[in-house]
Amino acid sequence: MMRLSALALTIAASGFSLSAIAAPDLSKETSSYREFVIHQIDQLVTDTEKFVQYLDNGDVANAKKLYPISRMAYERSEPLAESFGDLDPRIDARLADLEGEGKGEKDWTGFHKIEKILWETNSTQGTKELGVQLLKDIKELRAKVPTAEVTPELMISGAVDLLNEVSTSKVTGEEEIFSKTDLYDFKANIEGAEKIYELFKPRLEEKDKQLSAEIAQRFEAVNKLLASHNNAKEGFDYKPYNQLSKDEIKTLAEAVNKLGEPLAQMGVILE
């Protein structure tokens, strides 16, 4: 679940105003992004169906293994996926998010409540209804995504928000408190931001080749850092977040921050 970020300050510092100018036709890029998100949510439905089946079968080991993988499609898609009212909190809220709104555990549903049960009790007891509701909410999200308005502004601000979420909130380990699978979320957020950059890259290179090259180099640096914590030759098998040293966490946060600075300047394509 994306929290408010320092996006406005970041973009203001770059000297760019999203509302100050008339944007060129970027309908091809926005259409491609919508299709990307639809594909991701299709994958989310498929993975969540498997995840819920493991819960129903009482298969704790496989449910734990699939939990972070199944969430990655959602984390890649958050700029658009979180835009449908209370669906995002129903799917992805942490208990702390609800407590900040004066709600409690009885109001809590979604991935993170299931995470708490799996890792605290090492069982699937109490997850059946939660799994049914989670899958229902994700299928509702899939039905709504094609109707969403996608704008270049949403994509640019969404890409920077994904990075800010990693470097300011998720870096503390607050997202995956029980499972310690935070690095899967980091990777998915980076992939979501990188997809937006890739869609705008041809336009950006027309405006500022140096800026585009810098963004590409910064993505490469972050991805190399994440790869250094991945035990799998193919796919994902990230270290538990609590196994990273303070210096490793600091280095990762700094690399993401350095990426966010030029990425926020990508609004030059709207000039």
List C-alpha distances in Å: 98 to 90, 104, 131: 10, 6, 19
Q: For the CA atoms of the chain, what is the radius of gyration?
A: 19
Give the predicted TM-score (pTM) of the model.
0.90
Contact 71, 63 (CB under 8 A): no
Residues 79-120: tens digit of each pLDDT:
999 888 889 999 999 998 888 888 888 989 999 999 999 999
**pLDDT level of residue 75 (50, 70, 90 thresholds):** very high
pLDDT of residue 3: 53
From the list 80, 129, 34, 40, the residue with the least C-alpha distance to 88 is 80
Per DSSP, the three-state class of 115 is helix
CA–CA distance, 133 with 128 (Å, rounded to integer): 9
pLDDT of residue 104: 86
Residue 150 has pLDDT above 70, yes or no: yes
Residues 153-206: tens digit of each pLDDT:
999 999 999 999 898 888 999 999 999 999 999 999 999 999 999 999 999 999
Residues 198-247: tens digit of each pLDDT:
999 999 999 999 999 999 999 999 999 999 999 998 899 999 999 999 99
What CATH number belongs to 7-270? Answer: 1.20.1420.20
Per DSSP, the three-state class of 208 is coil
The token duo for 154 is 């949403």
Arithmetic mean of pLDDT, 25-29 = 93
Q: Which long-range contacts (CB under 8 A, 24 or more apart) does 210-216 make?
A: 211/262, 211/265, 211/266, 211/268, 214/262, 215/259, 215/262, 215/263, 215/266
CA–CA distance, 46 with 53 (Å, rounded to integer): 11
